[in-house]
Structure 1
Amino acid sequence: MCQPSKFIQDNFLLENTFAEELYHEYASDMPIIDYHNHLPVREIAENQIFDTMTKIWISGDHYKWRAMRTLGIDEEYITGSASDREKFGKWAYTVPYTMRNPLYHWTHMELDRYFGISELLNSESADRIYDLTSEHLNTEAFSTQNLLTKMNVASLCTTDDPTDALEHHQKLEKSSFKTKVSMAFRPDKAIFIGADSYLDYIDKLAQVTETNIDSYDRLCDALRNRVAYFHDNGCRLCDHGFEHMYAEEFTETEVKTIFKKKREGLNLSKEEVLKFHSALLQFLSECYHEFGWVQQFHLGALRNNNSRMLHKLGPDTGWDSIGDFQQAKSLSKFLNTMDSMDKLTKTIIYNNNPIDNDMMASMIGNFNDGSIKGKVQFGSGWWFMDQKEGMIDQMNSLSNIGLLSCFIGMLTDSRSFLSFPRHEYFRRILCNLFGKDIENGELPNDTKWIGKLIQDICYNNAKEYFDF
């Protein structure tokens, strides 16, 4: 019986010789700057070793969880108490049903790139692959730091709460680990004043900053204190995840009163909540400009749609979707407010709704003032758009309306140490876009120059932008 040929070939996703040349000669060996992810920094600092694929590959991966649930797999085998082997078996059973979902590509790229396994994952191969990967994982070569080194990760940024002590980052800074591990400041819990847990969080922030946060002014002082602390520990980025940008009109008196009401346990109106969001975001953005940081805004996700499962499993467990929020006016107003004060720092806008791609691509051009190359960036396809078509759509919008050549490229936005082949996935798609244009006569056959642009997008632009 003839064996099927290897699925992930050398020229996977590369549709002509120009694309092949661009990828193999220019893109493939470029280092990786992964400037936004959710990797647990403790596991990097402790150079953790995972004993099974379930722990490193399936636990915490809500992309896989959603696919398994859709196929009718019981939660016991997803987030429940089933054994690691049983959970892996259910994922293996799911994989053949994920064809045309990016999970099918990612799964087989990750098995190949980390473990040299080219066999397709399914129920028949599940036990063999589980045993083989377990043998690999239980060695020093597959520790978290060595996994990052294996993928040529030059630098990465985890996502950290303002109350974090950063002790694991400090440990890494003193270590001999060559990958630069920095952090991104994520203060959304201090902004979302309407949340039931808001006051508990403010009390935690007060404890960390050793101050009594009994007023809006003291809240601002505490947050600026943490920005300075993060800066002293090497932080140069922040990150926010909003449904839409906040840019309501407010007065200082109004915002102080709103915070006082919350402290007293009184209910806030929707208008008051939005005014507070807008005020504190503007204050923080001024801080980011003061410290010379890059600010990131992930816009458009509608989170925690299934209240029953949110109550059962908590957030970030796979119950989120694309939202249909109006973005343009508030985004423009926010950026214009900061620009008018000459306090608009480097900014990356990520979009989670494909209908907003062209708007986002045009919006960044309003605030690229010539002071910095690519000062305001249209970030790579995010979350529900970090697959082949989503990446192509984002890059086409940026190409048509802005300058793709100034783009700072891909990131994983992942919680998995095995997700870094997504950079390869992106690079292959990028090279294929240019390769098809050369073949069609829409670009000149100048692979040396285009190869230089490819390398800039893959690595050089981000290195310059973040000053790593």
Structure 2
Amino acid sequence: MKSFLDDNFLLQNKFAEELYHNYAKHQPILDYHNHLIPQQVAENINFENITQAWLYGDHYKWRALRANGVPEKYITGDATDKEKFIKWAETVPFTVRNPLYHWTHLELQRYFDIHELLTAESAERIYEEASAKLRTPEFSVHGLLNRMNVEVICTTDDPTDDLRYHQEFAKQDVGFKMYPAFRPDKAMNSDDLDSFNEYIDKLAAVTDFTIESISDYLSALKSRHDFFALNGCKVSDHGLSYAYSEDFTDEEIRLIFIKIRAKRSLTEEENLQFKSAMLVYLAEWDHEKGWVQQYHLGPLRNNNTRMFEKLGPDTGWDSIGDFPQAAHLSKFLNRLDTNNQLAKTILYSINSTDNETFAAMTGNFNDGTIAGKIQFGSAWWYHDQKIGMTNQINTLSNLGLISKFVGMLTDSRSFLSFPRHEYFRRLLCNIFGEDIQNGELPDDLPWIGKIISDICYHNAKEYFNFSGKE
């Protein structure tokens, strides 16, 4: 019987073990999509305690706490950090078979060399030990990232962000790089005209543009796209229910924008036309600059109205949607491809029933110009776990080229989440190792090992044009 989280955790045979330890384990991490706070990176902060580093903003843990009957006071409320940690420690034993159980103990081991199980009995002891370490220079934000051999992180940034902390960080020599990612969701969200007009006014102030027409708006937004590029941005990112693909004309969008600025209600068709147009304009700019565009598709957001009104978005009330995807996505990508304006693209599905749809869609628009130009992205959000990752890897293997896959990301708000890359790498190596064991792949470890190291590191470095530590 294996020991819990031993050196060969998730590795079921000698081939998997050799692939992981010799070809995957030591590859640097390129974390090309996360929600880390740039100010904390630029200022190289130390967290006062493990609750601040581990539980603040982590809606994965918040949902588990709520499911375990923990009152909101100990989650997002006014309980002390220590009280919140103890409630999490009391919950952890009940997360068995949830990925949180593995992540929790991997993170305690990899960052703090704590191999004790987190329980109600060990809570105070672990809290004090981990918190004391976090207050030392070696466990600053830079120390945490360097400890995990991180080479690149890409944060998630609104077009109106001034990127001051990216600029400050770019002057530092700390062993890894931080780039912004252009996330224009608010710039095309015409559902709430009051909020959208406030956003347009904010964009006008940031750019010193007068925005009265769609031409003004696009010029202002494009200036921010250019500004991001000047500050090292190489990727854009969209979080959408589905890819909007309504037909539109420039004249229709001109008139729709006039209605938006007048706060006159849009019809459903007008709303979809505007979003579709914005998605196309933004994608054309991405292609012009050679960026990678990412589309996270399918979540059903803010389901609990009562708690959304109390706590706001991204606090643990989103789930898996069942939106139609294929026709919209095909029409959107085809429009860009027809005009030779389709950038490198990564498609992420939150609904596993769309895995085959997304993986097959990539093959429609791979044109031979770039290896793996259109990617079926890593298992995302609710599928960021053993079964979800395995299904994504197998689907991509069956319908595309897993050998050209750009690998894993954290999609996390926590500096302690980087062992998710290890989790992915172990699963990846085990899948290949089992195929070798079963005679489904040749016992050619140098060649299979090269594919493993490419997926873990080299493919992404080339795909995103990352310079890394050079």
Match of 2:355 in 1: 357
Query: Given the alignment, which residue of 376, 382, 385 partners 1:387?
Result: 385
1:168 matches 2:150:
no
Query: Shift in Å at residue 5 of structure 1?
Result: 8.8
1:53 correspondence with 2:86: no
Aligned residue for 1:178? 175
* Distance across 2 between alignment mates of 1:122 and 1:53: 15
Supply the distance in 2 between the matched residues of 1:274 and 1:16 (Cα, whole angstroms): 51
| Residue deviations 1:21-45 (CA, integer Å, cap 9, x gap) | 0000110000000000000000000
1:98 corresponds, among 95, 98, 101, to: 95
Conservation of the 8 A alpha-carbon contact between 1:23 and 1:431: yes
Q: What's the counterpart of residue 447 of structure 1?
A: 445
Partner of 2:142: 145
| CA RMSD of superposed structures (Å) | 1.0
Shift of 1:235: 0.6
Question: Residues 88 and 126 of structure 1 are in contact (CA less than 8 Å); yes or no, is this contact kept in structure 2?
Answer: yes
Paired residues for 1:42-441 under 5 Å: 42-195=39-192, 196-441=194-439
Per-residue deviation, 1:212: 1.1
CA distance in 2, matches of 1:129, 1:395: 35
Determine if contact 1:300/1:353 at 8 Å carries over to the other structure: yes
User: Corresponding residue for 1:9?
Assistant: 6
- Which amino acid is the alignment partner of residue 83 of structure 2? E
Matched, 1:34 2:62: no
* Structure 1 alignment gaps of length 5 or more: none
Once structures 1 and 2 are overlaid, which stretch shifts more, 421-430 or 210-219? 210-219
Once residues 130 and 264 of structure 2 are traced to their aligned partners in structure 1, the CA distance between those partners, rounded to angstroms, is 54
TM-score when normalising by structure 1: 0.98
Matched residue type, 1:75: E
Matching residue's letter, 2:186: K
Q: 1:176 Cα shift? A: 1.2
* TM-score relative to the length of structure 2: 0.98
Rounded Cα–Cα distance in structure 2 between residues aligned with 1:462 and 1:120:
35
Conserved 8 A contact 1:7-1:118: no
Shift of 1:7: 2.3
Task: Could you tell me which runs of 5 or more consecutive residues in structure 2 were left unpaired when the two chains were aligned.
Answer: none
Measured after TM superposition, the shift of residue 268 of structure 1 is: 1.0
- Please state whether the residue corresponding to 2:279 is helix, strand or coil: helix
Contact 1:8 1:118 in 2 (8 A): no
2: CA distance, partners of 1:355 / 1:281:
24
Q: Which secondary structure does the structure 1 equivalent of 2:397 belong to?
A: helix
1:169-213 Cα offsets, whole Å, 9 max, x none, are 011111112201101001110101112411111100010010111
Which amino acid in the other structure matches residue 19 of structure 2? Answer: L
SS at match of 1:438: helix
Task: For 1:288 and 1:176, locate their aligned partners in 2 and report how far apart those are by CA, in whole Å.
Answer: 29
C-alpha separation between the residues in 2 aligned to 1:14 and 1:7? 12
Query: Which has the larger displacement, 245-254 or 39-48?
Result: 245-254
Do the aligned residues in 2 keep the contact of 1:33 with 1:459 (CA within 8 Å)? yes
User: How far 1:380 moved relative to its partner?
Assistant: 0.1
Shift of 1:262: 1.3
Q: Is the 8 A contact 1:36 1:412 kept in 2?
A: yes
